[in-house]
Chain A
Amino acid sequence: MHVPDGFFNAVTSVSAGVVAAAGVAVCLRGARRELDDRTAPMAGLVAAFIFAVQMLNFPVAAGTSGHLMGGALAAILVGPYTGVLCMAVVLLVQSVFFADGGLTALGVNITIMGLVGVLVGWAVFRLVAGLARGKGGVTLAAFLSALISVPASAMVFTLLFSIGGTAPIEVSAVAAAMGGVHLLIGIGEGVITALTVGAVLAVRPDLVYGARGLAKPLVLRGAEGTTTVGAPEPAPVRGAGRPFLLGGIGVTLVLAGLVSFFASSSPDGLESVAESKGFLDRATDHVFSGWALADYGEVGGIPVGVAGIVGVGLVLLVAGGVAYAARSRDRIKV
């Protein structure tokens, strides 16, 4: 999803640039509170890691592959503010050193993949991790946050494209195609994010920003035997990120609202679905092996755009349900 030069018109590119710059500025201030003198190295590592994993394509379905975007992963590992900085740096490096993503589209790219990806990812993570506690809860929250952040980014892309894209395309068609493909990519992203976070949590829990605490007491061996002393104060998870949580929820709501507005207010929505179906069938034939999009395109006569939203909503509901279930299970254990 690295947008090249010339994809968006000048006004959109510049506005997105302003949004991205403002967002990064806020995060620069916030990041100081998140981590100590390891901020830069840890963030650098996360950035390098995301860069590397973005090159690691995973199969989405027969014949198609997607790659990690990493917004949710960054947020969970280093916190939302630093997470945005990581994504911004990845995109900057990709566009300047590797010509991946246009220089003038940098603002768009940072907004879509950095701000939205991290924001939505962190919001979902906090919500779910707040409901389902413990290591299992963190892993589950990681999965869901990544799963949802990817289609959310895709939706913002669609939205921007409908406002300032340089090509005349039916919004609902793009939304459906982008949303569908990215929902699938989101599953892969969710699995990778959850397993990465889980693996790090198992070996170096101190490295996961979203899950700090839990230090064992220390043992002293002296001439007069063995004594136990309290562990040092664990670094608490700071209250930072509340604005992020609210922001994330806000963005999600606005997105849902806007996209459904577009989807339902275009009088030729149904017609265009029919028209674009030729394209969609062709473009995504191998992605969906015939069935997925058919179901996705028309659920009892509901246009795709709406179907997409309903889909995302369902995912959210399921996520909430699973999180709730996980929480009750944890309670029973205690």
Chain B
Amino acid sequence: MNSLEVSQLAYAYPDGTQALFGVDLSISRAERVALLGPNGAGKTTLVMHLNGILTAGHGTVTVAGTPVRKDTLKEVRQRVGLVFQDPDDQLFMPTVRDDVAFGPANAGVRGEELDRVVKGALERVGMLEAMDRPPHHLSFGQRRRVAVATVLAMEPEILVLDEPSSNLDPAARRELAEILRSLDVTVLMVTHDLPYALELCERSLILSDGVIAADGPTRELLADADLLARHRLELPYGFAIPAV
């Protein structure tokens, strides 16, 4: 059974802007996949459908065999953990501790157990000392790490990250990669950081103008200069695909 299955997904924002024009994709269990594409391609919009935050205008989204519908939202959201592009959208409680506790507490975790989960998640992202600070006093990179912790604390089966490596310092970027590699979960990672995609994900998808334009091994996609140029993707200066 596939972890994620999207078919013919189309969506228009309430103001009439159509962002997705029939997206098809499927990701199997424990696979790590990168979602690449230029600004405005619809990556964030697509990701928001994966746990039912946006409701498909047309087409279907299926998570571990469960179709995303109004009556399955609770279950779907327990399975899919979503790290937002902007950590300020993700952090809303008065302290880091409360914020990380929010998800598990909604799932019914209480007391000592809650405390343990919260500390564990913060420890993994190296933010344990910031536990009692208000999120809006943290630096951007620190906020991003807390945002990742809020999702890790929910122990999702499918982890969806929208540009997780932006604004992280090199060490934090590497640490995040280690965390992702250590997890036995399905990962879909939106990124503009092509080397990061190559490092972490076997497979990549290119979303362009609201449809999937390419799907294949990351190494092959990144080696295709024409394909990259057509979709406004560029490898960093001086970066070459290392030989196997």
Interface positions of B from 1 to 53, Cβ below 8 Å from A:
8, 10-12, 14-16, 18, 21-22
Contact indicator B58/A220 (Cβ below 8 Å): yes
Neighbour of B58 across the interface among A203, A204, A218, CB < 8 A? A218
B210 CB within 8 Å of chain A: yes
**Residues of the A chain whose Cβ atoms lie less than 8 Å from the Cβ of B16:** 216
- The answer to the question of B57 belonging to the interface, with a C-beta cut-off of 8 Å to chain A, is yes
Interchain CB contact under 8 A, A220 and B8 = yes
Interface positions of A from 207 to 221, Cβ below 8 Å from B: 207, 215-216, 218-221
Q: In the complex, how many residues of chain B place their beta carbon closer than 8 angstroms to a beta carbon of chain A?
A: 16
Contact of B57 among A203, A206, A231 (CB under 8 A): A231
B152 at the interface (CB under 8 A from A): no
A205 contacts the other chain (CB 8 A): yes
> Number of A residues whose C-beta is below 8 Å from B?
15
A204:B14 contact, CB within 8 angstroms: yes
- A278 on interface, CB distance cutoff 8 Å: no
Identity of the chain A residue whose Cβ is nearest the Cβ of B59 in the assembled complex: A220
Encode contact with A along B57-100: 1 for CB under 8 Å, 0 otherwise.
Answer: 11000000000000000000000000000000000000000000
A-B contact count (CB 8 A): 39
Contact (Cβ within 8 A) A204 B22:
no
Give Cα distance in the complex from A220 to B211, angstroms: 9
* B21 and A206 contact, CB distance less than 8 A: no
Contact of A221 among B12, B14, B15, B22 (CB under 8 A): B22
Known contacts A218-B10, A219-B18, A220-B58, then 20 further A-B pairs from the complex at CB < 8 Å, ordered by chain A residue: A203-B15, A204-B14, A205-B14, A206-B14, A207-B14, A216-B12, A216-B18, A218-B11, A219-B10, A219-B21, A220-B10, A220-B22, A221-B21, A221-B210, A229-B10, A231-B12, A231-B57, A232-B55, A232-B57, A232-B58
Q: Which B residues have a C-beta under 8 Å from some C-beta of A?
A: 8, 10-12, 14-16, 18, 21-22, 55, 57-58, 209-211
Please list 30 pairs of residues, one from A and one from B, whose beta carbons are closer than 8 Å in the complex, sorted by A's number.
Answer: A203-B15, A204-B14, A204-B15, A205-B14, A206-B14, A207-B14, A216-B12, A216-B18, A218-B10, A218-B12, A218-B18, A218-B57, A218-B58, A219-B10, A219-B21, A220-B8, A220-B10, A220-B21, A220-B22, A220-B58, A221-B21, A221-B22, A221-B210, A221-B211, A229-B10, A229-B58, A231-B12, A231-B57, A232-B57, A232-B58
